[in-house]
Structure formats: structure tokens, C-alpha cells
């Protein structure tokens, strides 16, 4: 199957990886699991501070479905359980002892039960609502994305180890028992070999072509009452590795990129690694404040170098200028040639050069401008402006009619970037999905 998406936008940002980018291996001092990275998962701890755990040992499980766990990515001691208001669990920190001791799972168990116990089921997402799936509900189809079109991202195919074909085939074969439909694998043409048992889809287009929600909407859209699962190719490999060895592979390959990075590099480390270890020695000695983002500039989470950790989906770290110490003539209204615009109003639109973004909003929030600007970058059959208004007004009938079941926050991240009104679109979508789920389930 071939899918060509005409709408979208690739941001030309400095600090991309190249063929000469170095590859490092870092064993983190400490790793952390953040429950907020798993929407729909209500955590209940299974460990205490001071407990010793192995790789794959359950750290917490879902209150509604005790068989769905989140597991330790390293062997070591539970260093801290950090809580916030009303004793909400913010993160669980595990001190790495570098022993690599790992639990061995019984691979003869049913696939959903096995994935739940090994912590891999929590890495899947369910549409609608973009939450951890309900293990008791069979999906209509399963969608796997083997591409990442986000700014400065490393292709997920490059994150796979050599000889991953056998593990991918085993994972597809096992997941086929969990659905009565198809398993779709979306890829860039020529980047990934065919996987037996999967429906391969070659996707062409700019970002957000790599977002699984966009792929689903253009291949087999989700309707009311239907349920699908989504995951990336790295998670598919982890499932296959578990089936072949009985052990969880908690290693990750991370792209450390951005204009404030001296030499963009690839780092092999563990899930939830501390940011300080990943950015040590690679940040530019700048005279201005920087923002470290776990993820890409569109959907990532700002983290603190001193006490921040790599966040799910554990693929990228981006470093840009904060912008709160910039003294710029005319501020956001400046037409300096270093600024980027999707409109031909600024010089950089015509110069086709790379630019150095910062974290400033560049303007104030205002009423929604119905200009159709979202349609320029959103390759989905959705009237995004009207859908956002329905979400804000909590009009369930309108939300359903306008396609809320098809979207996740990341699908509209580019709309947030180009939005003249400066609306927090991703947060609006997340709040709308949570509200709809609470009201209808």
C-alpha cells in the first residue's frame, strides 16, 4: 500500500544529526518512571523506597487492571518515590547498579497477559482517547509506525539492532492473535523490509506524516464504537525480543539534537535515563538560558538538567534557547532574517536557511482566528478549528461529529505551532479526550 500526504510542514532547525554524528553508550546513574507519560494508567505502587529490583520487575500497576504494569528499566535500588499534591506519584527513581540482572517471563502466557506483566502493554496506545488500552477489549486493527517526521528526529528504524527481523516477525505473529483485523506497519519507502503477516504501508509526505494518528485517519479511520491499538516499531521489536528470550529489552537509542548542542549525537542508554548524563559535555557554552526538551520541539516536555529524566517515548532530547533573556528590537513583531514563518512575510521564508528557535510564545493569546491556517499543515479530513471550539465548549455531540475519536494531541502539534491565536491546542485536545472518556465510559 502507498500513501502520499500533500499537507504538512518540515521545520528547518539547526542541530540535526548527520552521517558523521558520533554514537555513544551511556550507563545512567539513575532512571525514572513518570506515570503521567502513560495517560489512562492509574498507578498503584508495588515497591517501596530502598527495595532492590531487577530489569523487568514491576514498579507499579494499574488500579483498574492490575495485570498491566510498568517495570524497572534497570537493576538497582528504588532511590526515591517523588510525590506531588494530594500524594500524586510524580516519578519513581531507580539507582542503577549496572548488574543487568533481569527477570525471565513465561512466554507461553497469552500475549496480552505477557505484555501487561512485562511492562510493554503500557507502551501501547488506544484510539479513541490516546490512552493505555483496555486489556479486556480486542482491537479492530493494530497500527505500527516505523517513521518519525518530527523536527530533528532520528528514524526509528535506525534504532533497531542488527538482526531485528526475527523479533519483528515474532511480534507481528503474536499480536495477530490479539486482533481480528490487520496489523499495519507504516514506513518510509526502502527503510524497512517487509514483515511477514503485516500490511506494509509506504508513506510519503512532510510532518505530521509520521504521526500514527494521521496514518490511521488516511488508511482506516476510527469510528464511534471502534477500538484500535497503536505503537512504534521499537516497541514492536521489544515485544519480539521478549517472545524470543523471555526478557525485556529496556535499552533505548536517543538523538541528542538542537541548535544549542555543540555536536549532535546518538546515545545508547536505558529507558528513563537522567538528562544530566545524556547532555554532559554536549551543550554549547552559551551566555543565555537554554531549554532542555525530552522529545521534539513540538510535543516534548521541558526538563531540568539537574533532576530531569528522559520521558516516554524515549527517543529524543532537543536543546534550544529559552528566550527569556533576549533583548530584541521590536520583540515578536521583528522581521529579522533569523526568524522563520510559513508565510512569505519574513526573509527566512525565502532564504531557505536553517533557523535557531527559542521557547518564546512570540505574541499573546487571543481569540481564535478562523483563517483556515490549520488546514495548511493537517493532512486529515477534520475541521480542526470547529473541533477545538466544540472541545472548549464541552459539546459532546459536536466533538463526535467533527472527528475527535481520530485524533491525539500530537496530531495537532503542528497546528499549535502555526496558530496565530497562540492557543495551547495540544492541552485542549488532551483535556477534551479525558472529558469525553470520563463522560462516556
In this structure, the chain runs to a length of 441
C-beta separation of 151 from 13 below 8 A: yes
pTM over 0.85? The answer is: yes
CATH 2.40.50.100 residue window(s) in the chain = 28-97
Which CATH number is 28-97 given? 2.40.50.100
Distances 333 to 312, 329, 339, 382 between C-alpha atoms, Å: 35, 9, 10, 31
pLDDT at 107: 95
The DSSP H or E segment spanning 235 is: helix 233-245
pLDDT at 333: 60
**What value does the mean pLDDT of the chain take?**
92
Rg (CA), the chain: 21
Q: Note the helical H segments in 273-367.
A: 275-279, 348-351
Q: Over the stretch 5-42, which tens digit does the pLDDT of each residue have? A: 999 999 999 999 999 999 999 999 999 999 999 999 99
CATH 3.10.20 residue window(s) in the chain = 251-351
Q: What is the average pLDDT across 108-121?
A: 97
C-alpha closest to that of 72 among 88, 52, 44: 52
pLDDT at 311: 96
User: How remote is the C-alpha of 276 from its chain's centroid?
Assistant: 20
Q: Please tell me the distance from the alpha carbon of residue 419 to that of residue 369, in angstroms, as a whole number.
A: 9
The strand pairing partners of 255, in sequence order, are 266, 316
Q: What is the average pLDDT across 52-73?
A: 97
The strand pairing partners of 292, in sequence order, are 303, 319
- Judged against a pLDDT cut of 80, whether residue 351 lies above it is answered with no
Q: Please tell me the distance from the alpha carbon of residue 154 to that of residue 414, in angstroms, as a whole number.
A: 18
Report the percentage of the chain scoring pLDDT > 70. 95
Which CATH number is 251-351 given? 3.10.20
C-beta separation of 217 from 381 below 8 A: yes
Residue 54 is placed in which grid cell?
Answer: 531487577
Residue 421 is placed in which grid cell?
Answer: 491565536
Binning pLDDT at 50, 70 and 90, where does residue 338 land?
low
pLDDT at 370: 72
- Judged against a pLDDT cut of 80, whether residue 363 lies above it is answered with no
Q: What is the average pLDDT across 310-329?
A: 87
Q: Which of the pair, 235 or 371, is modelled with greater confidence?
A: 235
Q: Residue 321 class from Cβ within 10 Å (0-12 exposed, 13-18 middle, 19+ buried)?
A: buried
C-alpha closest to that of 8 among 144, 128, 125, 147: 147
- Judged against a pLDDT cut of 90, whether residue 136 lies above it is answered with yes
- Judged against a pLDDT cut of 90, whether residue 335 lies above it is answered with no
C-beta separation of 201 from 3 below 8 A: yes
pLDDT at 281: 87
Amino acid at each position: 500500500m502507498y500513501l502520499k500526504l500533500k499537507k504538512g510542514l518540515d521545520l528547518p532547525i539547526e542541530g540535526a544529526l548527520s552521517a558523521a554524528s558520533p554514537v555513544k553508550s551511556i550507563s545512567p546513574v539513575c532512571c525514572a518512571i513518570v506515570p503521567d507519560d502513560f495517560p489512562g494508567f492509574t498507578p498503584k505502587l508495588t515497591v517501596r523506597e530502598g527495595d532492590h529490583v531487577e530489569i523487568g520487575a514491576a514498579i507499579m500497576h494499574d488500579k483498574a487492571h492490575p495485570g498491566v504494569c510498568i517495570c524497572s528499566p534497570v537493576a538497582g535500588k528504588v532511590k526515591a518515590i517523588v510525590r506531588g499534591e494530594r500524594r500524586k506519584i510524580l516519578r519513581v527513581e531507580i539507582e542503577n547498579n549496572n548488574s543487568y540482572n533481569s527477570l525471565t517471563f513465561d512466554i507461553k502466557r497469552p500475549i496480552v497477559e505477557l505484555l501487561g506483566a512485562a511492562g510493554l502493554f503500557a507502551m501501547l496506545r488506544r484510539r479513541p482517547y490516546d490512552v493505555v488500552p483496555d486489556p479486556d477489549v480486542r482491537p479492530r486493527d493494530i497500527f505500527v509506525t516505523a517513521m518519525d517526521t518530527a523536527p530533528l528526529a532520528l528514524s526509528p528504524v535506525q534504532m533497531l539492532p542488527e538482526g531485528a527481523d526475527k523479533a519483528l516477525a515474532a511480534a507481528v505473529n503474536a499480536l495477530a492473535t490479539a486482533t481480528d483485523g490487520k496489523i499495519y506497519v507504516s514506513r518510509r519507502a526502502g527503510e524497512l523490509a517487509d514483515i511477514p503477516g503485516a500490511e506494509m504501508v509506504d508513506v510519503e509526505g512532510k510532518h505530521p506524516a509520521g504521526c500514527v494518528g494521521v496514518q490511521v485517519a488516511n488508511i482506516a479511520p476510527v469510528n464511534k464504537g471502534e477500538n484500535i491499538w497503536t505503537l512504534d516499531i521499537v516497541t514492536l521489536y521489544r515485544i519480539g525480543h521478549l517472545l524470543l528470550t523471555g526478557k525485556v529489552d529496556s535499552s533505548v537509542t536517543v538523538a541528542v539534537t538542537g541548535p544549542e548542542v555543540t555536536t549532535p549525537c546518538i546515545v545508547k542508554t536505558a529507558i528513563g535515563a537522567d538528562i544530566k548524563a545524556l547532555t554532559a559535555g554536549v551543550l554549547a557554552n552559551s551566555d543565555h538560558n537554554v531549554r532542555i526538551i525530552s522529545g521534539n520541539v513540538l510535543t516534548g516536555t521541558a526538563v531540568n538538567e539537574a533532576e530531569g529524566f528522559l520521558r516516554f517515548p524515549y527517543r529524543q532530547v532537543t536543546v534550544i534557547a529559552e528566550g527569556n533573556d533576549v533583548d530584541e528590537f521590536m520583540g515578536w513583531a521583528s522581521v529579522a532574517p533569523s526568524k522563520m514563518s510559513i508565510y512569505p512575510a519574513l526573509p527566512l521564508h525565502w532564504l531557505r536557511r536553517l533557523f535557531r528557535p527559542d521557547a518564546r510564545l512570540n505574541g499573546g493569546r487571543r481569540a481564535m482566528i478562523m483563517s483556515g491556517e490549520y488546514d495548511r499543515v493537517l493532512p486529515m479530513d477534520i475541521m480542526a478549528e470547529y473541533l477545538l471550539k466544540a472541545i472548549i465548549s464541552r459539546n459532546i455531540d459536536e466533538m463526535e461529529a467533527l472527528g475527535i475519536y481520530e485524533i491525539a494531541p500530537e496530531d495537532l502539534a503542528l497546528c499549535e505551532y502555526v496558530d496565530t491565536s497562540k492557543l495551547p491546542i495540544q492541552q485542549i485536545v488532551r483535556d477534551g479526550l479525558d472529558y469525553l472518556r470520563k463522560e462516556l465510559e
